């Protein structure tokens, strides 16, 4: 059975909306996008080592897929992040998109949660969710997430979409690994299975 992991960036107050730029996600009148920009270089070095070095497929919601598809295919494979993402199989959970032009993209529509549950039952590499806050909420409710790979930034933005919002389902997680970045961001990997070593 395949495992499903969430890879996301959050502020100290738990906001995951719009880390890259002001224009990334203005929904809900969010005006504080781009809060992670000053930290990217050191954080992405750690992300590549800890979360992107082994084979994996990517699972996106519609909005995050559109953001990534407008950016990563335009970068050459000399960029290691672009190479990894462009070559990965990308599953897109949406009932509104029909045409997926980005190479290696696969549509998941209809009863999305049930189809992702069946996808996990098949053989294959880790499935890793990037961004996709609304999709993550549905996956948490269905208990389909095996691991959270979080990078917490030393920033408070006050409002925005949170990883664990008011409707989050109570759950217990175990810290598998943690490490700081020199710039103050912190990696924390949580799983549903208890580990004896950090």
- The answer, yes or no, to whether residue 186 has pLDDT greater than 90, is yes
In order of 12, 43, 113, 132, the CA distances from 61 in angstroms are: 24, 23, 12, 5
Pairing of strands 4-11, 126-130: parallel
- So what's the pLDDT on residue 168? 78
Q: All domains of the chain, ordered by start, with CATH?
A: 4-191 (3.40.430.10)
Separation CA 177–CA 175 (nearest Å): 6
Specify the pTM. 0.90
Span 19-39, mean pLDDT? Answer: 90
- So what's the pLDDT on residue 197? 52
When the pLDDT of each residue in the chain is averaged and rounded to a whole number, the result is 91
The tokens of 134 are what?
A: 């609304």
Provide φ and ψ at 6, rounded to 5°.
Answer: -100, 130
- So what's the pLDDT on residue 147? 95
What is 26-89 written as a DSSP string? -GGG---TTTTGGGHHHHHHHHHHHHSSS-EEEEEEHHHHHHHHTTGGGS-TTSHHHHHHHHS-
Span 69-76, mean pLDDT? Answer: 88
Span 103-114, mean pLDDT? Answer: 95
Enter the DSSP assignment of 23: T
- The confidence band for 105, taking pLDDT boundaries of 50, 70 and 90, is very high
Nearest partner of 155 among 13, 33, 30, judged by Cα: 13
With pLDDT > 90 as the criterion, what percentage of the chain qualifies?
Answer: 66
pLDDT digits over 93-104, tens only? 999 987 899 999
Separation CA 76–CA 98 (nearest Å): 26
- So what's the pLDDT on residue 111? 95
Span 138-147, mean pLDDT? Answer: 94
- The answer, yes or no, to whether residue 196 has pLDDT greater than 80, is no
């Amino acid at each position: 059975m395949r495992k499903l992991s969430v890879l996301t960036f959050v502020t100290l107050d738990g906001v995951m909306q719009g880390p890259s730029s002001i224009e990334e996600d203005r929904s809900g009148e969010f005006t504080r996008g781009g809060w992670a920009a000053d930290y990217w270089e050191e954080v992405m070095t750690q992300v590549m080592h800890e979360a992107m070095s082994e084979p994996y497929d990517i699972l996106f919601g519609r909005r995050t897929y559109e953001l990534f598809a407008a950016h990563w295919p335009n970068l050459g494979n000399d960029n290691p992040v672009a190479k990894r993402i462009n070559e990965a199989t990308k599953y897109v959970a949406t009932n509104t998109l029909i045409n997926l032009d980005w190479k290696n993209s696969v549509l998941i529509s209809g009863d999305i949660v049930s189809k992702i549950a069946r996808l996990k039952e098949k053989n294959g590499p880790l499935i890793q969710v990037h961004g996709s806050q609304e999709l993550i909420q549905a996956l948490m409710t269905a208990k389909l997430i095996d691991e959270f790979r979080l990078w917490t930034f030393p920033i408070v933005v006050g409002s925005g979409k949170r990883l664990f919002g008011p409707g989050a389902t109570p759950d217990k997680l175990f810290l598998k690994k943690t490490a700081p970045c020199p710039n103050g961001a912190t990696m924390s990997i949580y799983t549903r299975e208890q580990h004896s070593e950090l």
